[in-house]
Structure 1
Amino acid sequence: MTQTVLRDCPAPAKLNLFLHVCGRRPDGYHLLQTVFQMVDHGDVLHFALRGDDRIHRANDIPGVPEEQDLIVRALRLLQAEFQRRHGRLPPGIDVTVEKILPMGGGLGGGSSDAATALMAANHLWQAGLDRDELMALGLPLGADIPFFIFGQTAFAEGVGEALQAVDVPDYWYVVIEPGVSVPTAAIFSAEDLTRNTEPVTIADFSRCLVSQTNPSEYGRNDLQAVASRLFPPVARAVEWLGRYGGARMTGSGACVFCAFSTESEADEVLSKVPSEWVAWKAKSLPKHPLAEVLQVDGVID
C-alpha cells in the first residue's frame, strides 16, 4: 500500500565554517567558497497526501505568505516534473511546519525546509528522481537547497552549488541568535564587501583541521564585516562568543557560532550567554538524517 503520511521530517540548520567571496559573475552573482556543515537543530515538517492535487501549507508562518514559501514553490516544481514524466499529476500535499530556525539568521532554514519537502514528496509520490535531479530542481529556488539534498558536509564553490564531500571531525557548536534578521541582498550589495579573496582548496581546509582544534578558525566569513557594521547586535555577539574560541557569523548573518570539541565545553559556554540573546547548542551531522529513511539515490555512499 502506498505511504500517504510522513511525520517528523527534520530540516536541519547549516553553518558556514568559513565563507569567502572570490569574485563576481557577469550576471551579478557572487562566486563563493565555503564549507557547509549541518547540525542537529532545525525545523520539523509533516506531510500528508491529499485527495486533490493542491499543494497547501497547513499552518501560518509569520512573515512568509504561503505563495512565497520555498516549500510550496519547490513542491509545485516537483509536481510539474512528475506530470512531465508520468503524464498525470500526483496527489496534492498538506505540509505542516514546526518553525524553529529564525529567518534572516544565515542558518539556511528556508532552503533546508524546501530540500526536506523535495525529498519527502519524491518518496511519497514515488517520483523516482535521484539526488542529482532533485538538486538541479531545487537550485533555481535557492543556492543552498542543493547542499541539503547532497546530504553531507561539503566544500562548495560557484554560487554554492558545486559541491564536494569533505570530512570534518564531530564538533559541538554554541549558536547565538542576536535578535536581528539580516537581509542577504543588503550584505551582497554593500560597496565595502570583500569580493577578491584568493581561492583555496579542500586540501588547504583539511590541513587546517589537522593543526587546529576549531574549524571556525580557518579563513573567515567575508560577509561578517558588512553585517557587523549594519547590524551592531551581530558585532556584539561575535565579540562576546569570541572570548571562548574562534567565533564567527554563519552565512550572511545574523547567527554567530563557535565550535567545541566536547559537549561539556559547549554547555559551560552556553550557561554564560547573556539573557538578551537566544542561544543553543547542537552537534554536527555528517549526513542528512533523512538520507537513509527516504533512500534518495546517491546520498549514501
Structure 2
Amino acid sequence: MTPVPDDAGGWSWWPAPAKLNLFLNITGRRSDGYHTLQTVFRLLDWGDRIGLRLRADGQVCRQGASLAGVAEADDLAVRAARLLKSSANIGHGVDIIVEKSIPAGGGFGGGSSDAATVLVVLNRLWKVGLDEDGLAALGLRLGADVPVFVRGHNAWAEGVGEQLQPVVLAPAWYVVADPGVHVPTPALFADPDLTRDSPMAKIEDFASGSLAGNAFEPVLRRREPAVEAVLVALSRIGTARLTGSGSGCFVEFPSQAAAAEAKAGLPKELRAWVAAGVARSPLLEALERN
C-alpha cells in the first residue's frame, strides 16, 4: 500500500488502511444522545487507496467511478477536503479518486480512513501546517473513528471513540470476512436488545484477555442471518468476532501461515481474506518515504 506517483497525470496515491475493533463495549449515553464506549482499534495493512491531484481553480471534485449509493457531497473523502479547505482558507483545490477495497458497512472504518488520509495528505500538499492534534480535531467533526486514522497508531479508545491512548499489540494476522450486509448504525444503537451499560474496563483487562466481545454482536446475529452464518463458519477455524458496528467478522492468528491455512478451509463462497495487523499506519510510513 505504497503511494504511486503518476507524474504524467499529476496524481499521487496514498493508503487508507482498514481497522478492526478487538473488543467493543458500550458504557453509557451522553446528554446529547451519543453513546460512550470502550474499544481497542487495530490498524491493518489492507485498505483503500486515495488518489489526489491538485487543482488551481479551488474546486474539490471526485473523479473516477462513483461510490455505490454515496453522493459526492456525502463522500467523507470529499467532505474532508472541503472542511480542511474552508477551515484553513485555502485557495487551492483537488481532484480525488477513492479506490475501494474496504466494504461499506462492514465496520472496518473505510470512510473514516479515506477522510483521514485526505486530511493528512492535503495538509502537506496544500502546506496548511496543522499539527496532529489539529487534524484529529477536524477529523472528529467528520466522524468518531477519523482521529485514530489521523494519528496512525493502535489505540485504546473511550468517549465516542475519540479519546485515544496508544497501545502496543503483539504481531497478529487475521482472517477477515464480509457477510455483505449493511445495517445502519443508528438502527443498531436503537435496538432494545443492545447492552448500553457495560461496566468501565481498564487496559489491563484487555491485556489479560478478559475483553474480547462486541456489544453489537448479539443484535446483529439476531437481525442478520448472513452475519450469523459467517460467524458460525469462522468459529470452525478459531474465535470469531465482530468488528465495530458493522457486519464484518474476523479471527486472529499468531502467524500469516496459520491464517492462510485456516482461510483455505473456509467455504469457497465466503468472501474472506488475510490481513496483517500493523503497529503503525501505512499512511504514516508512506508520508515518510515521500
TM tier relative to shorter chain: over 0.9
Alignment correspondent of 2:269:
276
Going from structure 1 to structure 2, the CA distance change for 1:272 and 1:262 (only over 3 Å counts) comes to same
Structure 2 SS opposite 1:169: coil
Alignment correspondent of 1:113:
114
- Cα distance, 1:239 vs structure 2: 1.4
Going from structure 1 to structure 2, the CA distance change for 1:10 and 1:293 (only over 3 Å counts) comes to closer
Measured in 1, the distance between the counterparts of 2:74 and 2:246 equals 21
Deviations 1:75-116 (A, max 9, x none): 111001221xxxxx3310001111111111100000000000
**In the alignment, which of 67, 77, 86 is matched to residue 80 of structure 1?**
86
- Cα distance, 1:28 vs structure 2: 1.1
- Cα distance, 1:6 vs structure 2: 5.4
Structure 2 SS opposite 1:254: coil
Alignment correspondent of 2:33:
28
What value does the CA root-mean-square deviation take over the aligned residues? Answer: 1.5
Equivalent runs, 1:240-255 vs 2, <5 Å: 240-255=233-248
Task: Give the paired residue count.
Answer: 280
Structure 2 SS opposite 1:285: coil
Identity %: 48
Alignment correspondent of 2:46:
41
Conservation of the 8 A alpha-carbon contact between 1:53 and 1:90: yes
Going from structure 1 to structure 2, the CA distance change for 1:153 and 1:52 (only over 3 Å counts) comes to same
Conservation of the 8 A alpha-carbon contact between 1:34 and 1:156: yes
Conservation of the 8 A alpha-carbon contact between 1:6 and 1:47: yes
- Cα distance, 1:203 vs structure 2: 1.7
Structure 2 SS opposite 1:31: strand
Alignment correspondent of 1:260:
253
Structure 2 SS opposite 1:243: coil
Letter in 2 for 1:10: P
Structure 2 SS opposite 1:290: helix
- Cα distance, 1:58 vs structure 2: 0.5
Conservation of the 8 A alpha-carbon contact between 1:179 and 1:277: no
Gaps of 5+ in 2: 1-6
Alignment correspondent of 1:86:
none
Conservation of the 8 A alpha-carbon contact between 1:172 and 1:281: yes
Alignment correspondent of 2:3:
none
Going from structure 1 to structure 2, the CA distance change for 1:245 and 1:218 (only over 3 Å counts) comes to farther
Letter in 2 for 1:91: H
Conservation of the 8 A alpha-carbon contact between 1:6 and 1:120: no
1:187 aligns with 2:188: yes
Measured in 1, the distance between the counterparts of 2:30 and 2:222 equals 25
- Cα distance, 1:291 vs structure 2: 1.5
- Cα distance, 1:225 vs structure 2: 0.7
Conservation of the 8 A alpha-carbon contact between 1:50 and 1:93: yes
Q: TM (normalized to structure 1)?
A: 0.90
Gaps of 5+ in 1: 84-88, 209-216, 296-301
Structure 1 SS opposite 2:176: strand
Going from structure 1 to structure 2, the CA distance change for 1:91 and 1:233 (only over 3 Å counts) comes to same
1:70 aligns with 2:63: no
